Amino acid sequence: MSDSSSSSSEIFGYVAEFSSASDLYHAAEKVRDAGFRRWDVHTPFPIHGMDHAMGLGKSWLSAIVLCGGLTGSFTALVLQFFTQVTLYPTVVQDKPTNLFTVPAFFPVTFELTILLSAFATVLGLFTLIMLPRWNHPLFNSSLFAKFSNDGFLMVIEARDPKFKREKTKELLQEIGAGKVEEVNY
């Protein structure tokens, strides 16, 4: 195993600082066009259009929440129909419960839909953003501490297929990064 391959396995990636939101936005477009897939930006405030500049699509979280909600609705309706129509028929005001009593079943259906949607949101979000993670290599970066105050940062991870140690650093410098810091595990 050569020295360069062993050192590249220890690197997490590069953190690059840009002077303004506009510079970061244009740099994001250039990194996207260069074909990188494992990278992110960190800013003290949201930048309008950054998702488009990064080439991000719609999140899968809404589909996960929809599945949770549909599961809640279906479960509530099945349980209510099974127990009150089939297993223990309920007679109210001399009228038996039947399949057309949906308004009576609406409150429980609504509540279970909301409950399972909320659970799906939390579990789906944790899964998509890979939490819990107790420590992240970016926390070792001196530049990363600035992003929540006044820094406009871009992080390109070494696990990206397009990542080449020197070429990636040169690309970041070419697109206007003021400082580029290597982050190790």
In sequence order, which residues have a C-beta less than 8 Å from that of residue 21 and are 6 or more positions away? 43, 45, 47, 152
Show the low-confidence residues of the chain (pLDDT under 50).
Answer: 1-8
Structural domains of the chain, with CATH: 3-58+136-184 (3.30.70), 61-128 (no CATH)
Q: For residue range 115-138, list pLDDT tens digits in order.
A: 999 999 999 999 998 888 888 899
For the entire predicted model, the pTM comes to 0.74
pLDDT for the residue 5: 45
Neighbour tally for 75: CB within 10 Å: 14
Q: Which two tokens stand for residue 133?
A: 């993670």
Residues 6+ apart with CB under 8 A from 41: 24, 28, 47, 50, 54, 152, 153, 154, 155
